[in-house]
Each structure stands twice: as structure tokens, then as C-alpha cells.
Structure 1
Amino acid sequence: MSQPRGPLRPEQQHELVRQIGAVLTGQVPPGWRQLRVEYRAAGRHIEADLLVTAPDGLPRTLPPHPEAVRLLGVLRAGMYQPGLGTWLGAVLVFDPGGPADADFGRPDLEPPFRHQPPPIGFQDELRFFPRADEQIPGWLRERAGLPTPAPAPQPLLGPDEKVRTPRVHDGLDASGRPLIRRPPLVPAEIERVLAYLEAAPVILASRSNGADVFAPERTDAVPMNFRTDGAWAWPGAVGYYLREHGVPPDPDLVAHIRARRFAAPSEVSAEATVLALAAITGERQ
């Protein structure tokens, strides 16, 4: 693999995204509601998942067409910035008749690989897409076998920031059943998100469990506890509904977990605990 000749212009990037959508559209049956492709790469290690929302509204996974995978690689190489590198993970969402929604991860973020690439993959990444030393994040240094500096401490919330709490669902329908209107997680992310949700410290807990709103016959199933990572505080229901019913967490919380590279803290400060409890109970600080 050779280094790209030069960066793609925005219009060239948009054209490649359009071509990727055209290739994927051609491989699925008519009537699809949404196509979501996730691409992850490190050097020559490449992973790609395609999630197709069928006419019945149910998501199904397919291997994306090889040409779409090739074009994604061309797009990644063409978005390389000298000294900064390029993204290692991207998600493209296509809706019928609408513009594509493309989310390219920052070059410092590690994507949720299904299988951890070998060190040579990350070494090749730095060889194919060279970075200035200060632009190599700690996780990439470690994966490539480079000396890893001491991690920087997590910054505290700013004076005007508050601990956030997620929406467990998106409202109720006319019959009182919960509504879910949010993008599904790709299969490779589910266990990593669950691990994060269930690893953060518990700051409030009840001895009993609550009822399952998606399966009312389960009257003693949902954990009645709250966890926090210092920036978000969430009820045990978030992880429970993801594991039991495939309900994706609040998209903002998912974005936060991705930004943290799926690494939850094992403990938080007393100050962060107080702020999280205030967010849960609605008390002013």
C-alpha cells in the first residue's frame, strides 16, 4: 500500500460516499429502509459490517460488497492529513432518497474492532499514514509496541457543566408502550458498550429490582441502581434493556462511550459522585 498522492477535495469525498451508497444499494433487495456500513482499519487489517433495515423494519447484517469496501479504503487514504494521520473507523448511513450521513472518527480514536489487529497492523498504519510524534495517541503507541507516555488525567467537569443522564426510551405510544427512535448499535459494539455500562462504579442501589417495561410479565427483572463515569450517570435499566431487548442507549451516551474508547473508570472522585447523585435526584448543588 502506498501513501496517498494528496488529499481529496470535499466534492471528491462526497462523490466517493455517493459511489459507496450506489454499490451497497445494488446488493440489497428493493424496499430497504436504511443501510448502515461501519468500516474499521489499521494498516492492512480491515473490517466492515453492513446493517440493512429491511421493509419489515428489522435490521439484518450482510457482508458489504467488496467494491464498497475498496472505495472506503480509497476514501480513508484520501482523507489523510500529513502529520495528523487519518481516521481508523467510520460509519456511513444511507436512507432512500436522502443524503448520506457520514461519521468519520477522529484520527486519535480507536474504533471498536471485532478482532484486535496484530501489532504489525498498527505499525503499518503509522508507516502508511505517518504522524508527528505528538499526534500518536497513547493507545496507538501501545498497540504498535512504541514507548507509551503516562496517560493524562481525566479533566474534571467545567464550572458550568453538569453530569448528564440518558433517556432510557423515546416516549410512549398510544397504548403506553415505550418507543425507540434511535439508530441501532453495530454488532461489534454491543458487548463493548455493555461492558462500559456495567463496569462504572455504582453510586446508588436498591435491594429490589423493577419491572421490565418491554415485558411487563417480568416484574422483578430490571436492576434498580445507578452508575457514573463522572460525566454521565445512568440507571441499570440502560444496560439491561440493551442486553435483553437490544435497545440502544441514548445516542449521546453512546457517542460519549466511543469517545472514551470504551474504557470505563473503576472509580470516580467524591466530588464527581456528589454531582452525579445531584443529577439523579434533581437536587441543586
Structure 2
Amino acid sequence: MSQPESPSTAGTDAAGSLDQQGQQEMIQRIGRTLVQALPPGWEQARVQYRAVGSHRELEAELIAPNGTRIPLSPPGEVGELFANLRHGMYQRHRGTWLSATYQISRPSSYSVDFDGDHEPAWERQPPHTEYATELERYPRAGHNVPDWLAERAGMQPPESATTADQLRKAEVFDGTDAVGRPVTNRPELPPEEKNRVLEYLERAPVVLAARGYDSDRLSPSASSSVPMTFHTDGSWIWPGAVGYYLRTHDLTPQAELVDHIRARDFQLPHVDDGARELAVTAITEEQRT
């Protein structure tokens, strides 16, 4: 049975404060606490603890001799003990584990597996802010941060462009008709996605901006209100007009950009100075041609 754990900070001691003896004592205490809660006649039990940042999950089950798995509600103290163990096992530059599997068999044998490299099989997907919290609370050297954790924490993703010509450039419209009016043929975004796409588009760093505003090509009589800016997320470049027309006229950005934003789960990555400079180079080179 899986149950959420409270997001309280584990213990008051400094991260990494448990030595080998302290870790073993904590592991054995988890086992004793678990055994006291098991029903008569138990043979095997397994507990899985998953955590990132302040997000914590605890799942327990009995394993019958025929392999049948029976959900179990473990005492709340088990979750607190796991949280303290994870906190105490932090290693400088290496971080701490993200999931632990504790298996115990009658009468007293047990095994514990810790995993700090692979993403846990979450019961509930943690908010992306928790991945950044994880790296703030338990810092790792860059080479010890798995790609999936770096991406979810908003660090520069590995698929970002490395040269200016690798950056993809979004168009505001699909083209123009014979008299110069903009042409688009794009389905509207689902209502639940519109604000998430807008937030991604408008929060991305502005790498170039001109003074003033451009006219609204879908409302020629309106005052000039279209931002003359360019944004990037390290993989794509788009004019500020893309967000404007989505917000004002429900004009969906081009499909490839929307698919890219969805693939990132609507989470904007960190865009470093090098990625911003590449974007400026790509924009200025395009404007010269």
C-alpha cells in the first residue's frame, strides 16, 4: 500500500552525519519497527521508500509463500526513520539515495538496496520544484547528477543546441495570402494547456528586444501592442509575438514547438549564458540574410 509522507525536514543533524555504525543502527531500527506492525504468521515483507526534495512516498506489502502480494499500512515512524537515514547518508559531491527497498524475512534476515542514480517509480509524480530542492538540499558534483534529474531540476538539458544553426526557429504565422494577410491553420490548444504553454513561452529568457511594440496583424485597428522580442529555451527560438497571439487571439504556436513544450512537461530549463549567446547569433544571422 502506498501512502504519501509528510514533507517535514528529516531530523535536525547535518546532512551526512551518520557513520557506518549509525547507518546500521538506523536500518535495524527500521526492521524492528516494521516487524512489530506485521500480522501473525507473516513470512516476508517489503517496504519501498521514495523521496526527492520534500516529496516522500512509502509503500509496503506482505509477500505470501505462493508469491501473492498483500498491501500493508506501515507505521508512520517507518517513514520518518527512512527520511533520517536518507538525510544521514548524504555524501558530499555525491548526493544521497532517492529510493530504498527493504526486504525482511522471518525470523530475522533482511536486505536493503539503495538507488541514487535512477528515477524512482513514483506513485504520484513530484512537482518539478522538488527536483531543484533535492540538489539544493543534497548538492552533487555535475558528473554525479543523472541526466533525468538535471532535466527535471531545470538544469541545461543535454539535447540543447550546441551551434547556432541547430536552434529551431518558430514562425508566428503559417504564411500570408495574396494581399499580405496572415494565414494560419492550427487547432486550438486544449483549455488546460493554454496557460501552461503561455507560461513557458513568456517566462523563457528574452535574448533580444527592440524598443516599442509592433502592430497586431489580426486586429489592424488596435493600438501597437505586440512585443518585439525574441525568447529561447536553449533548443528553440521564438518571437514574443508567439505568446502574444496565443494570449490575445488563441492562436496556437506551430505544432513542432508545442510538441517540444509538451515533451518537456511544460517545465522551462535553465538557460545559461552560452545558450543565450547562441540564440543571439542565430537571430542576427537570420536577419542579415
Larger Cα Rg: Structure 1 or Structure 2? 2
User: How high is the TM-score relative to the length of structure 2?
Assistant: 0.49
User: How high is the TM-score relative to the length of structure 1?
Assistant: 0.49
- Normalized per residue, the structure richer in strand is 2
